[in-house]
Amino acid sequence: MAVKFECVPLLKSGAWHISGSTRRGEVFNPSTGKVIAQVPLCDAAETAAVVESAAQAWPAWCATPAVERARVMFAFRQLMVEHFEELAALITREHGKTLAESRAE
């Protein structure tokens, strides 16, 4: 019986999307050698669309006052603090580091 893994979505135009590609790359836990996730292997058109959506967002971000951009970055920092242990566990799983090394990262 084959195990089905969740495929990592794409962030495009501020929303998460499932890739239209049927090709997948496997993400391995280097400590166990087991597959822990899949990533889409997007074609050129899908890649270009995601890059273009990022390029379209850039002018608005540049026009945002520095104080507001700082607020966004501090909010992002707060989310990282709130999810610190989850992030450390994810780094450990994906990179084979010890939990202490992942926390330091």
pTM of the model: 0.74
**In this model, does residue 4 exceed pLDDT 70?**
no
pLDDT digits (tens, 9 = 90+) for 14-50: 999 999 999 999 999 999 999 999 999 999 999 999 9
Residues 74 and 93 in one domain: yes
- What is the number of domains present in the chain? 2
Provide the mean pLDDT of the chain: 93
Task: Tell me the residue range of the domain where 91 lies.
Answer: 64-105
Predicted local distance difference test score (pLDDT) of residue 3: 53
Residues 5 and 47 in one domain: yes
**In this model, does residue 1 exceed pLDDT 50?**
no
Q: Note the helical H segments in 8-98.
A: 44-63, 66-82, 84-95
Predicted local distance difference test score (pLDDT) of residue 5: 64
Contact criterion met (CB below 8 Å) for 49 and 64: no
